[in-house]
Structure 1
Amino acid sequence: MIKKIMADKLIISFDEYTKIVEKLAIEVHKNYKPTVLVGIMRGAAPILDILSRILKLPIAYIVIQSYSGEGMEDKQGELMFAREISSLANNEDFSKVLLIDDLSDTGLTLNKSIEWLKNYPQTRDFIKEVKTACLWKKKSSTFEPDFCPVRLDSDPWIVQPTEHYEELSIEELIKRN
């Protein structure tokens, strides 16, 4: 199902990716009835899109950026949260939240996002429950997501299907197309 290219990398095709998201949708459907899906950007964007279509639920986005200094390229830096949630969901929709990220790497982002979400002024009085979901959990992650179709026995770099776009310039795309 998932191609291992090197011991420290997993290369995921778009087809494999969507199958994992579908497994996540089934797992959530069978075990939880969320009232809103909240995605952690950017990693959760395609997952949120697919899940919202399958589960027919409103969505919201929270934007987080990890700032790290020189020599910290492969380490988690300080998390910076956007000031607002982006959503057209009603406040009442936030009673049963499914918080989604692409993976649980260290667990820090998911842990801090739950805390931030429960303290967010516009929705905190409406939240009764927050459960978490991701596609992959790495071995060394200290966070245990509620829903996760792929639990890895190592800590590989996961090369997701859209990741190659980070290496391309718009000029290269123009030449290609």
Structure 2
Amino acid sequence: MLTEDGKHLYVSYDEYHNLIEKLAIKVHQSGWEFDTILCLARGGMRPGDILSRIFEKPLAIMSTSSYRAAAGTQQGNLDIARYITTPKGEIAGRVLLVDDLADSGHTLNAVIGLLKNNYPPITELRSAVIWTKQVSTFTPDYSVEYLPTNPWIHQPFESYDTIRPAQLLAKWKV
């Protein structure tokens, strides 16, 4: 649900999963065959996992982080992991890079540059995201929703950013 001022987008679990299914359809309808899904942790992990299951492809993970301050609402310096975790040795062939959104575009541009320069076994690389903001300097190959008002996206699992174990103990009276 987009707020009237266009500054906030609230997404339920059902909407979130429906959007990932629509992303899968876009990739499938393109006819492009790929060997591996590489998701960017953390935002791309849920979409990457679901796409991996739908397409029956191995899931590789590359950890990136730029939203750490203020419970994940302020962008800071981009950190990219030195290694990719993959169940099949080295990542190679045709790779679908998955993240949740193209926000500023900084992360996706940096990761694609790193992959092209440091992973010669990757023969083709395409990108897939749920949302693309108008301000993004990166245009993904596959995207479900274009957001011209650049809202802050409130994803359904973000409540866990501020929940701590003591709160769960109180909630569940353990």
Q: With the length of structure 1 as denominator, give the TM-score of the two structures.
A: 0.88
Q: Which residue of 1 aligns with 2:122?
A: 127
Classify 1:85/1:146 alpha carbon distance in 2 versus 1 (closer, same or farther; 3 Å). same
1:173 aligns with 2:168: yes
1:4 aligns to what SS in structure 2?
Answer: coil
1:132 aligns to what SS in structure 2?
Answer: strand
Q: Which residue of 1 aligns with 2:15?
A: 16
Q: Which residue of 1 aligns with 2:46?
A: 46
Gaps of 5+ in 1: none
CA distance in 2: counterparts of 1:30 and 1:68, whole angstroms: 36
User: Which residue identity lines up with residue 76 of structure 2 in the other structure?
Assistant: G
2:51 aligns to what SS in structure 1?
Answer: helix
Q: Which residue of 1 aligns with 2:143?
A: 148
CA distance in 1: counterparts of 2:42 and 2:68, whole angstroms: 17
Alpha-carbon contact 1:21-1:135 (below 8 Å) kept: yes
CA distance in 2: counterparts of 1:88 and 1:144, whole angstroms: 28
Question: Which one of the candidate residues 109, 117, 122 is aligned to 2:115?
Answer: 117
Matches within 5 A, 1:12-91: 12-31=11-30, 32-66=32-66, 74=74, 76-91=75-90
CA distance in 1: counterparts of 2:47 and 2:8, whole angstroms: 21
CA distance in 2: counterparts of 1:175 and 1:78, whole angstroms: 35
CA distance in 1: counterparts of 2:15 and 2:67, whole angstroms: 30
Gaps of 5+ in 2: none
Q: Which stretches of structure 1, 4 residues or longer, exceed 4 Å deviation after superposition?
A: none
Q: Which residue of 2 aligns with 1:163?
A: 158
User: Which residue identity lines up with residue 114 of structure 2 in the other structure?
Assistant: W
1:10 aligns to what SS in structure 2?
Answer: strand
CA distance in 1: counterparts of 2:152 and 2:52, whole angstroms: 27
CA RMSD of aligned residues (A): 2.0
The structure with more strand, counted as a fraction of residues: 2
CA distance in 2: counterparts of 1:52 and 1:114, whole angstroms: 20
1:118 aligns to what SS in structure 2?
Answer: helix
Cα drift, residue 119 of structure 1:
2.9
Alpha-carbon contact 1:36-1:89 (below 8 Å) kept: no
2:2 aligns to what SS in structure 1?
Answer: strand
Cα drift, residue 36 of structure 1:
0.5
Q: With the length of structure 2 as denominator, give the TM-score of the two structures.
A: 0.89
Q: Which residue of 1 aligns with 2:95?
A: 97
